[in-house]
Amino acid sequence: MTETTSAAAPAKAPAAKFGGKGLNVGIVVAAIVTVAGLVLWGVQLSGGLVQTGMRNLDSWGLYITMFMFLVGLSAGGLIISSVPRVFGMEGFGGISKVAVWTSICCTVLAIGFVVVDLGQPLRLWELFAYSNLGSPLMWDIIVLAVYLILSIVYLWATLRFEGGKGSEKSLRVISVVALVCAILVHSVTAWIFGLQQGREMWHTALLAPWFVSSALVCGTALVLVVVVALRKAGYLELAQENVVKMVKLLGAFVLVDLYFFGCDLLTAGFPNASGAKVVAMLVSGPLAPFFWVEVIGCAVTAIIAFTPKLRTNPLIVAGALLAIVGIFCKRVQLLVGGFQIPNIDYAGVVTPYTATNWAGGMANAYQGMVYWPQPIEFGVVLGVVGLGTLLLLLGLKFLPLKPVEKPQ
Amino acid sequence: MSQKQYGMVIDLKRCIGCHTCAMACKVSNNLPNDIWWNRILTDGGPSMDTARGTYQHFTMDYYPLSCQHCDNPACVKVCPVGATYKDEETGIVRQDYDKCIGCRMCMAACPYTGVRSFNWEEPKYSIDFPVGDQDVPTHQKHVVEKCTFCYQRLAKGEEPACMESCPAQARHFGDLNDPASDVAKLIAEREHKQLLPDRGTNPSIYYLV
């Protein structure tokens, strides 16, 4: 890859103030957090998943929430980088590589969160030896792997192209394929939940398009935050009008996402049958804080995005962060909500493995949220996020991701 | 559809809620502490063994609940490695502990709340030697398990442990696809229900009401 590094070299001059000590400190801190996370994961595996807040009645928790969330975040980078290329839009070339690199890091993180959730990570090889191709989880593993490889190929092809090799046409073809794959990744992740006849809240055809829209929201928001920050740090340059374009795009995505939420709530609630429980749980039940943070946060983002006066850099970043937090809250609602309403709630024998709040029987198990993470889960999550940050910073330091002049 | 479909018919009019079947299951399968594959639920008030309603209009029923060995099992479809599978010969939904990767997808998929249980830590036992059937597979940490219709007993021509010990003789076991079997006859004769029929899983446990 010598030709690519040499191609990137001239661009280093104007952005020389980026990097240096701060970046190195960041890398060291991220590495320490990663190692601490690995140690905690070891503790979790040896002492058992009983140390987490997950139990038989709420068999998934923060890890799978983070998995959903990170898959969503990973979309943005790839889409922001490939859409302009697919449709021949100008002006976004500068952030293309950083965006794809962010996307690659998020995908690695998403896979990491599935791995730390597994009871038997040493049996991961079975996924390839005994694949049940009918399982949505298997589809997701395949699509995620393809997505990761494609993102890397796309980044490599971009670098090659900038080094004067490869044709623009082939790069465009790769970007189209990567874009299609990005949309597939979100749909398939949604199907892990949406195809399950057992859980009222998850079982809806809307879930796949909704996951795509949520991914677009938090993905675009993440790229905005990263780009504005990197611009400030002097790593790259991007015209303000292009930032504004992205903000408007974010506003549109947020509105679509809220529209889907509205459709879903209406369809669930209107018959005033079992679905009304789902609506009540979200609007005024145990999940209400997450519901209202999402709805209000996303609405504020939309207002910032569509009011020209409010589109100042601090507010843009604040709006983007609100959107990211909002989508995270949505993931929490989806995950916990699936477990919060039992299909069979008759009183019976309850043990410490049934639910965290088991002592008061079935009736008490669902008081408040049926699941709340334990400290070790926050620690492991921090460790996995540390790994992602480490990758991101190492990429910024060692990979030629800085913008170069468009070779014409 | 498998050639055979083993199933169980439980007579709710006979069940007295004594939990003997739950104990028999626990002992025969050498279940670790805090794990119950077979639980007796009270359809009544908020706590076990309490009734619902007002004086002179109380109602209370018992639902023995374990894996429903569905004809169309939600869990089997979603397991990424085929660790939970439908036995071709018997129609029983089985679980391969050695294969299970502990992803808990089946627990999310199963509509029957709490019938699948995960070993959240290294299995612990109140007594320091194994009890029950000798050929029960060893329980493992971090895998999902559940009722197997006492597969080890069926292999020897015996019936599931919960069947044998029921003092009220509320349980009947046999091949639902064989019209001459007890279970098929009971379903033909008596009023019955399956749990959560709207989920389309077609469970092999029938409750006589």
Express each pLDDT in A375-392 by its tens digit: 999 999 999 999 999 999
Pairing of strands B117-118, B144-145: antiparallel
pLDDT of A405 reads 52
Judged by CB atoms closer than 8 Å, whether chains meet at B101 and A134 is answered as no
pLDDT of A156 > 70? The answer is yes
Of B79, B100, B121, the CB nearest to A120: B100
pLDDT of A16 reads 41
pLDDT grade for A203, boundaries at 50, 70 and 90: very high
Average pLDDT over chain B, rounded to an integer? 94
Q: How many CB pairs under 8 A join A and B?
A: 165
What number of other Cβ atoms are within 10 A of residue B19's Cβ? 20
Of B19, B102, B114, the CB nearest to A120: B102
Cα–Cα distance, A128 to A109 (Å, whole number):
20
pLDDT of A179 reads 84
Picking from A112, A106, A73, A64, the residue whose alpha carbon sits closest to that of residue A332 is: A64
Picking from B18, B33, B4, B22, the residue whose alpha carbon sits closest to that of residue B161 is: B22
Measured between CA atoms, the residue of chain B closest to residue A136 is: B78
Of A59, A342, A348, the CB nearest to B48: A348
The topology (CATH level 3) of A15-341+353-398 is: Formate dehydrogenase/DMSO reductase fold (1.20.1630)
Domain assignment present for residue B136? The answer is yes
Domains in chain B: how many in total?
Answer: 1
* Percentage above 90 pLDDT, chain A: 63
Q: For A198, which DSSP code? A: T
Measured between CA atoms, the residue of chain A closest to residue B79 is: A135
- Please compute the mean of the pLDDT values over residues A283-298 and round it to a whole number: 96
- Please compute the mean of the pLDDT values over residues A59-81 and round it to a whole number: 89
pLDDT of A13 reads 37
pLDDT of A7 > 70? The answer is no
Q: Which two tokens stand for residue B9?
A: 């018919």
| SS3 state of residue A111 | helix
Distance from CA of B144 to the nearest CA of A (A): 9
pLDDT grade for A264, boundaries at 50, 70 and 90: very high
Measured between CA atoms, the residue of chain A closest to residue B116 is: A56
Of A117, A123, A198, the CB nearest to B109: A198
Q: Measured between CB atoms, does B111 come within 8 Å of chain A? A: yes
Q: Classify residue B73 as left (phi > 0), alpha (psi -120 to 50) or beta.
A: beta
pLDDT of A355 reads 92
Helices and strands (H, E) in chain A, number of each type: 14, 0
Pairing of strands B144-145, B171-175: unpaired
Cα–Cα distance, B112 to A342 (Å, whole number):
9
Q: For B84, which DSSP code? A: E
pLDDT of A213 reads 93
Give the CA dihedral A266, A272, A275, A277, nearest 10 degrees: 110
Measured between CA atoms, the residue of chain A closest to residue B146 is: A56
* Percentage above 70 pLDDT, chain B: 99
A165-179, A285-299, A361-375: least confidently modelled range: A165-179
Say if residues B181 and B198 touch (Cβ distance below 8 Å).
Answer: no
Q: Mind giving me the DSSP string for A67-81?
A: HHHHHHHHHHHHHHH
Q: Where are the beta strands (DSSP E) in A323-365?
A: none
* Percentage above 70 pLDDT, chain A: 94
pLDDT of A18 reads 62
pLDDT of A152 reads 92
Say if residues A65 and A117 touch (Cβ distance below 8 Å).
Answer: no
B chain contacts of residue A345, beta-carbon cutoff 8 Å: 113
Compute the radius of gyration of chain B from its Cα atoms: 17
Q: CA B75, B76, B79, B84 torsion: positive or negative?
A: positive
Termini Cα distance of chain A: 21
Picking from A162, A147, A145, A150, the residue whose alpha carbon sits closest to that of residue A1 is: A162
* B57-113 confidence digits (pLDDT tens): 999 999 999 999 999 999 999 999 999 999 999 999 999 999 999 999 999 999 999
H/E segment holding residue B85: strand B84-86
Cα–Cα distance, A125 to A207 (Å, whole number):
30
Say if residues A52 and A371 touch (Cβ distance below 8 Å).
Answer: no
- Spatial neighbors of A296 by CB under 8 A, at least 6 apart, are none
B176/A17: higher pLDDT: B176
Measured between CA atoms, the residue of chain B closest to residue A356 is: B120
Compute the radius of gyration of chain A from its Cα atoms: 22
Q: CA A337, A338, A344, A350 torsion: positive or negative?
A: negative
CATH value at residue B18: 3.30.70.20
Judged by CB atoms closer than 8 Å, whether chains meet at B118 and A56 is answered as yes
Judged by CB atoms closer than 8 Å, whether chains meet at B101 and A48 is answered as no
* A119-140 confidence digits (pLDDT tens): 999 999 999 999 999 999 999 9
pLDDT of B14 > 70? The answer is yes
Cα–Cα distance, B124 to B33 (Å, whole number):
6
B120/A231: higher pLDDT: B120
Measured between CA atoms, the residue of chain B closest to residue A138 is: B80
Domain that holds residue B88: 6-208
Q: Give the ipTM of the model, two decimals please.
A: 0.92
pLDDT of A10 reads 38
H/E segment holding residue B53: none
**Every domain of chain A and the residues it spans:** 15-341+353-398
A81-90, A132-141, B147-156: least confidently modelled range: A81-90
pLDDT of A197 reads 86
Judged by CB atoms closer than 8 Å, whether chains meet at B121 and A48 is answered as yes
Of A119, A136, A192, the CB nearest to B102: A119
pLDDT of A407 > 50? The answer is no
What number of other Cβ atoms are within 10 A of residue A280's Cβ? 15
Judged by CB atoms closer than 8 Å, whether chains meet at B114 and A344 is answered as yes
pLDDT of A15 > 60? The answer is no
H/E segment holding residue A399: none
A80-94, A325-339, A377-391, B29-43: least confidently modelled range: A80-94
Of B82, B99, B109, the CB nearest to A196: B109
Counting every residue, how long is chain A? 408
Of B43, B65, B142, the CB nearest to A119: B142
Judged by CB atoms closer than 8 Å, whether chains meet at B102 and A55 is answered as no
- For an interface test with A, the pick among B49, B104, B139, B145 (most A C-beta atoms closer than 10 Å) comes out as B104
Domain assignment present for residue B103? The answer is yes
pLDDT of A120 reads 95
User: HSE on the CB side for A256, CA within 13 Å?
Assistant: 17
Judged by CB atoms closer than 8 Å, whether chains meet at B107 and A56 is answered as yes
Domain assignment present for residue B1? The answer is no
Picking from A317, A330, A192, the residue whose alpha carbon sits closest to that of residue A261 is: A330
Say if residues A333 and B28 touch (Cβ distance below 8 Å).
Answer: no
pLDDT of A21 reads 83
- Spatial neighbors of A147 by CB under 8 A, at least 6 apart, are A74, A107, A178, A181, A182, A184, A185
Beta bridge partners of A36: none
Average pLDDT over chain A, rounded to an integer? 88
Q: Scan residues 47-106 of B and list those with Cβ closer than 8 Å to A.
A: 47-48, 50, 63, 65, 74, 77-82, 99-105
Q: For B95, which DSSP code? A: E
Judged by CB atoms closer than 8 Å, whether chains meet at A141 and B80 is answered as yes
Judged by CB atoms closer than 8 Å, whether chains meet at A50 and B40 is answered as no
